[in-house]
Structure 1
Amino acid sequence: MATETDRRWTNVAAVRSRASRWFSDIQEHPFFWILPAALFLGVFLLYPLVEAFRMSVTNMTLLDPTDYSYVWLDTYVRIFESPDFWGMTRVTLIFVTASVVLQLVGGMILAQAIDYGVNRGLHGSIFTRISVLSAWVIPGIVIGIVWKIMLIETRYGVINYIILQLGGDVVSFLSDGQMALLSTIVANTWRGTAFSMIMLYAGLQQVPDQLKDAARIDGASPWQRFRHVTLPLLKPVLFINIVLITIYTINTFDMILALTGGGPGRATEVLALYMYFEAFERFNLGTAGAIAVVMLVVNVFMTMIYIKYLLGEDEF
């Protein structure tokens, strides 16, 4: 009986040993560590992407998602033939271009100012960073509501009250088409400048002080030091920053929804907001999927352009 028991324990020990060696071999393989991230991306990124492509070639509606047929490219043809689509594309182009440029410039100015303050031990640098970052962590819906309150078109609105105190007249920030678009750009710039500041400030920490000191000794002006020393070393960070803020801005709809609702008329209705309205107000999931695919293509195209002109043709 003891011999049989010993044999069983020996078999169990052998199985455990083989299992342990097998698990150790798996751990040494890169696939073991990539698998969790791959599963996460597959479930939350790849599947929605494939589903968006599938919906874009159907006439699926939110009223009855199971009752649909494949129309293939008819949805895309209808979108591209719509004058409203091209009008919203123009609004999106203005909104994205202005927001990206202003966020880059504002982020660079703030990053340089904070870097200057930190290097010289000035008080208030941490408070400044926290103040700027507070705009970034606030949800877009809340930012839209806050700016809508500030831009109330009476003498009791915060901005209009200041303008009146300076001797001006009440400005129609949200009821005039051009002013409404300008207001959304300003609000989005205020929201997104913090992200550029974080990225560029981190990049400035990688610029060796010896290079800037050498340029200063050689008689280079502050602008020349920035252009010929700092900016070339910031190119990789600038590339990542521009790509990310471009994608974020193209996909922005929550802030605009709360601030203007796409109005007046369709003066501030960008493509992301158009997609939202098609899906959840007009219940056209097929059209919304097609718009999402178009926006994906635009994002990829813009990223390729940035790679070509920011990182150089050799890395394209």
Structure 2
Amino acid sequence: MSAPGTPAPARRAARWLPLAPATTLLLLFLAGPVAYCVWLAFTDTQLTGQASASFVGLANFRRAFSDEGFRNAVVLTVVFTVLSSVVGQNCLGFALAALMRRASRPVRTLTGTIVIGAWVLPEIVAGFLLYTFFNRRGTLNAILGQLHLPAQNWLFTLPILAVSFANVWRGTAFSMLVYSAALAGIPRDITEAAEVDGASGPLRFWHVTLPMIRRSIATNLMLNTLQTLSVFGLIWAMTRGGPGNRSQTLPVFMYDQAFLKSLIGYGTAIALLLLLVGALFSVVYLRLMRDEV
């Protein structure tokens, strides 16, 4: 604590002094690399075959918007995010949380263990497991064969749906935990009062449950969307963005351009555009949360 006679600038400096080490580390290991990546996005830097990089302005961004591969990656990223995050993880997580509240303790324990077990698996391990499930000679086709249903190579015919299902399988646990906590926080007397007033189950869900957990829904959607936008290892292990580019989302397209084709500047520009997409989603969700306060 500063002495009473210490000048105001010295007191302010003394308050900020404990934050100096953390601020220095953030600037060194976070802000520094981010600033360097922003610089790379405006250059023609390559991994190989280049003596020195030069500043190219917005050329990488103009190239991206005129690149058919980039536009395809944007569409697939939206499809992947909506299917596996906004619809899949969000809805399935809520359904599991609601059902587990009514289930017996052994059922809750078993379900929680299975769902959370999939969540804690490393992304690359989950990718290989789901690859063996959807492969032409995999588990899914074996089950279909036992049921005398037609089998197919799911990773070739429906690759974006296969990787979307894989992401739902791996990430639903987070939504389930968020909604379990949110539902547990709803006062029981409110739902009992609505039931006494004659409100049916769907009406109680729509007029009582949803309004009271809207902030949890928005928070879960925001976090799930940001995580899904950055999924790379799962898709790379299952399809490598193929066949062709039919499951090549933006992270996979960025990796292909930056490291397989050695176009670091162009790949970094795509990474910044992906960062912008995530920021736009975050602004929308934060706006929804603010409007509900």
TM-score by length of 2: 0.89
**Residue-by-residue CA offset, 1:258-298 (whole Å, 9 max, x unaligned):** 00010011000000111111222112110111011101111
Structure 2 gap segments, 5+ residues each: 4-9
Displacement after TM superposition at 1:47 (Å)? 2.2
Q: For residues 71 and 99 of structure 1, what CA distance do their matches in structure 2 show?
A: 37
CA 1:228–1:45: 2 relative to 1, 3 Å? farther
Contact 1:55 1:289 in 2 (8 A): yes
Contact 2:219 2:285 in 1 (8 A): no
CA distance 1:261–1:219, shift in 2 (3 Å): same
| 1:136 matched residue in structure 2 | 119
Which whole-Å deviations, capped at 9, do the CAs of 1:30-69 have from their partners, x for residues lacking one? Answer: 6456555544443443222212211100111123788211
Calculate percent identity across the aligned residue pairs: 31
Q: Which residue of 2 aligns with 1:237?
A: 216
CA shift in 2, pair 1:36/1:133, >3 Å: farther
Query: For residues 261 and 113 of structure 1, do their structure 2 counterparts lie closer, same or farther at Cα, with a shift above 3 Å needed?
Result: same
Aligned counterpart, 2:95: 109
Give 1:169 shift. 1.5
Residue 84 of structure 1 is matched in structure 2 by: 69
Matched, 1:148 2:131: yes
Aligned pair partner of 2:141 in 148, 160, 175: 160
Structure 1 position 268 matched with structure 2 position 254:
no
Counterpart contact for 1:160–1:171, Cα < 8 Å: yes
Cα distance between partner residues in 1 of 2:129 and 2:40: 35
One-letter amino acid of the structure 1 residue matched with residue 153 of structure 2: S
1:42 matched to 2:23:
no
Give the corresponding residue for 2:175.
Answer: 196
Which residue of structure 2 lines up, in the alignment, with residue 6 of structure 1?
none
- Write out per-residue CA displacement over residues 5-54 of structure 1, whole angstroms, 9 at most, x where no aligned residue: xxxxxxxxxxxxx9xxxxxx99xx76456555544443443222212211
Distance 1:229 1:170, change over 3 A: same
Question: C-alpha distance in 1, partners of 2:40/2:232?
Answer: 21
Q: 2:270 aligns with which of 285, 291, 295?
A: 291
Higher relative contact order (CA 8 A, sep 6+): 2
Query: Residue by residue, what CA displacement relative to the aligned partner does 1:74-115 show, whole Å, maximum 9, x if unpaired?
Result: 111111111111111111111111112111000001111222
Instruction: Output the TM-score relative to the length of structure 1.
Output: 0.83
Aligned counterpart in structure 2 of residue 55 of structure 1, from 40, 55, 66: 40
- The 3 A distance-change label for structure 1 pair 127 and 42 is farther
Structure ID, larger Rg: 1
Pair 78,133 (structure 1): closer, same or farther in 2 beyond 3 Å? same
* Other structure's SS at 2:47 match: coil
- The aligned length equals 285
Identify unmatched segments of 5+ residues in structure 1: 1-17, 19-24
Q: Secondary structure at the match of 1:226?
A: helix
Distance across 1 between alignment mates of 2:186 and 2:38: 43
